[in-house]
């Protein structure tokens, strides 16, 4: 009764006379709250307003009175008002709390067992992993994601050594993968996930970028991947020496030549650290055309040209050149020059052709590979980095035959 009187004193509404504040409608403990009727005529206006419980019991056949909860809300004008429905901002806050609870349950289901939620529910939806369709995941795995590769190939790409030398290191038990010694070069590894050690040194998670150069090889240099004083790779000494300064955090690339030129042969040779690219260019099955300028001693007649065109046997295979042409004499050259184009790619093929034709070779220079030609202003021992258009010239024929 005291609480009822206090409620009435705080909210003196003139239209409220009797409010069945606690009306018992059944034997069970259940209460309904409803608004009362208008005041009777015999009640004076200046009399105090009180809320009195209705002691009368409802009729059994009467419909149950709906439960109404009064809400005291402060309006925009700052005054307190009484209403029968909750305020809009309260309903909105309840809805947001319910949605946050559902989002939290979704995040907890995605987390592994034993993991505790550290991020608030509001951030759960932004940090969760998005879902993609099967077609999108398949395209990513086949075209973008790097698939596990053979251990020997990964070591060679990281610049450890040549692929054959890497296989020897693996056979000798000097390579460990995730703490276990691996003796199979064909083992599949993922450089981003697996921990690989070679001779106790951890392999970097980053691979050096793919590099491609066109070099004008001088006479007296051998085509070897070893940084010897007379190797082709030694001509890149300054480039490799400054690698760490210009490319911090990246391992030094291991450069090697694509194919080989004799120590006495000059001209165009490709230098790279991409093994797959080198295999496509240098393998005889690519049938990539290679153009040479052969300078010979003595005179060249039709019989010599006929013998050159008939070809010769090299490494057990009869090789026939694609083109044999006698070039016109130049004022600064006293010896005749022959343009010879071959595609077999056999070792010493051009030298054997000239020898079989009965000619004495004075010098040999390669000037073209595929559609790519050696620039006339590129000096001996100098190199240039290949551009995107150069790859189409180099690999044009190779892609058609693979």
Q: Are strands 290-297 and 71-74 parallel, antiparallel or unpaired?
A: unpaired
Query: Residues 370, 394: contact at Cβ < 8 Å?
Result: yes
Q: Could you read off the pLDDT of 144-155 as tens digits, one per residue?
A: 666 788 999 888
**Among 297, 231, 235, which residue's Cα sits nearest to residue 261?**
231
Instruction: State the maximum Cα–Cα separation within the chain, in Å, rounded to a whole number.
Output: 145
The tokens describing 56, both together, are 């009368």
pLDDT at 127: 45
Q: What is the pLDDT of residue 316?
A: 84
Cβ atoms of 354 and 296 within 8 Å: the answer is: yes
**pLDDT tens, residue by residue, 19-76:** 444 444 444 444 444 444 455 555 555 555 455 555 555 565 555 656 667 777 777 7
Question: Is residue 212 within 8 Å of residue 372, measured between CB atoms?
Answer: no
Query: In degrees rounded to 5, what are phi and psi of residue 8?
Result: -70, -35
Q: Name residues whose C-beta falls within 8 Å of residue 326's C-beta, 6 or more positions apart in sequence.
A: 300, 305, 336, 337, 338, 339
Least confident span in 55-59, 91-95, 221-225, 315-319: 55-59
187, 167 contact by CB (below 8 A): no
Give the pLDDT score at 55.
Answer: 56
Rounded distance between C-alpha atoms, residue 102 and residue 90, angstroms: 19
- Residue 373 confidence class, pLDDT cut points 50, 70, 90: very high
DSSP one-letter code for 222: B
Query: 308 near 296, Cβ under 8 Å?
Result: no
Is residue 262 within 8 A of residue 348, CB to CB? The reply is: yes
* Alpha helix segments (H runs only) across 222-360: 237-241, 243-246, 275-282, 302-310, 349-356
Name the most confidently modeled range: 28-37, 241-250, 309-318, 379-388. 379-388
Across the chain, what does the average pLDDT equal? 78
Could you give the residue numbers annotated as active site?
262
> At 366, which helix (H) or strand (E)?
strand 360-369
Q: At what angle do helices 275-282 and 388-400 cross, to 10 degrees?
A: 50
Q: What is the pLDDT of residues 200-258, one digit of tens each?
A: 899 888 888 899 999 999 999 988 766 666 889 989 988 988 888 888 888 889 899 99
- Residues 32 and 65: beta-carbon distance below 8 Å: yes
User: What pLDDT shows up at residue 341?
Assistant: 93
Q: Say how far apart CA 342 and CA 75 lie, in whole Å.
A: 95
Q: CA-to-CA distance for 157 and 208, rounded, in angstroms?
A: 8
Q: Mean pLDDT over residues 131-148, rounded?
A: 73
Pairwise CA distance, residues 292 & 311, whole Å = 15
pLDDT over 70 (residue 18)? no
Record the tokens describing residue 65, joined without a space.
């009175």
Which range has the worst mean pLDDT, 126-130, 172-176, 235-239, 256-260? 126-130
CA distance 240 to 250: 12
Distance CA 163, CA 155 (A): 7
Tell me the pLDDT band of 394, cut-offs 50, 70 and 90: confident
Contact partners, residue 225, CB within 8 Å, separation at least 6? 162, 231, 233, 254, 255, 256, 257
Burial of 178 (0-12, 13-18, 19+ CB in 10 A): exposed
DSSP strands (E only) in 106-159: 149-150
- pLDDT at 115 > cutoff 50: no
134-138 long-range contacts (CB < 8 A, ≥24 apart) are: none
């Amino acid at each position: 009764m005291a609480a009822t009187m206090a409620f009435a004193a705080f909210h003196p509404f003139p239209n409220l006379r009797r409010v069945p504040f606690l009306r018992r409608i059944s034997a069970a403990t259940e209460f309904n709250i409803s608004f009362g009727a208008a005041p009777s005529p015999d009640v004076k206006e200046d009399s105090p307003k009180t809320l009195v419980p209705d002691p009368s019991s409802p009729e059994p056949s009467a419909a149950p009175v709906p439960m109404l909860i009064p809400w005291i809300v402060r309006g925009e004008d700052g005054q307190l008002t009484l209403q029968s429905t909750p305020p809009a901002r309260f309903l909105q806050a309840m809805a947001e709390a319910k949605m946050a609870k559902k989002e939290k349950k979704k995040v907890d289901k995605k987390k592994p067992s034993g993991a505790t939620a550290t991020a608030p529910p509001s951030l759960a939806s932004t940090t969760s992993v998005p879902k993609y369709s099967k077609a999108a995941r398949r395209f990513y795995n086949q075209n973008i994601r790097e698939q596990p590769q053979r251990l020997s190939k990964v070591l060679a790409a990281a610049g450890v050594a040549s692929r054959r030398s890497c296989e020897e290191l693996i056979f000798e038990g000097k390579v460990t993968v995730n703490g276990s010694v691996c003796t199979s070069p064909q083992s599949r590894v993922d450089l981003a996930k697996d921990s690989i050690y070679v001779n106790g040194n951890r392999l970097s998670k980053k691979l050096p970028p793919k590099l491609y150069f066109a070099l004008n090889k001088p006479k007296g240099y051998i085509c070897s991947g070893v940084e010897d004083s007379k190797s082709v790779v030694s001509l890149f000494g300054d480039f490799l020496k400054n690698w760490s300064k210009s490319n911090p955090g990246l391992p030094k690339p291991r450069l090697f030549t694509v194919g080989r030129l004799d120590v006495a042969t000059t001209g165009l040779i490709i230098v790279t650290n991409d093994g797959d690219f080198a295999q496509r260019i240098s393998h005889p099955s690519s049938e990539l055309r290679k153009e040479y300028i052969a300078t010979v001693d003595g005179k060249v007649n039709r019989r010599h040209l006929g013998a050159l065109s008939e070809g010769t046997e090299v490494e057990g295979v009869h090789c026939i050149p694609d083109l044999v042409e006698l070039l016109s004499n130049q004022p600064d050259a006293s010896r005749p020059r022959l343009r010879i184009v071959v595609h077999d790619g056999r070792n010493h093929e051009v030298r054997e052709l000239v020898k079989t034709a009965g000619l004495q070779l004075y010098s040999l220079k390669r000037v073209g590979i595929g559609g790519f030609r050696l620039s006339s202003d590129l000096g001996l021992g100098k190199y240039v980095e290949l551009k995107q258009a150069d790859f189409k010239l180099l690999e044009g024929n190779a892609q058609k035959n693979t």
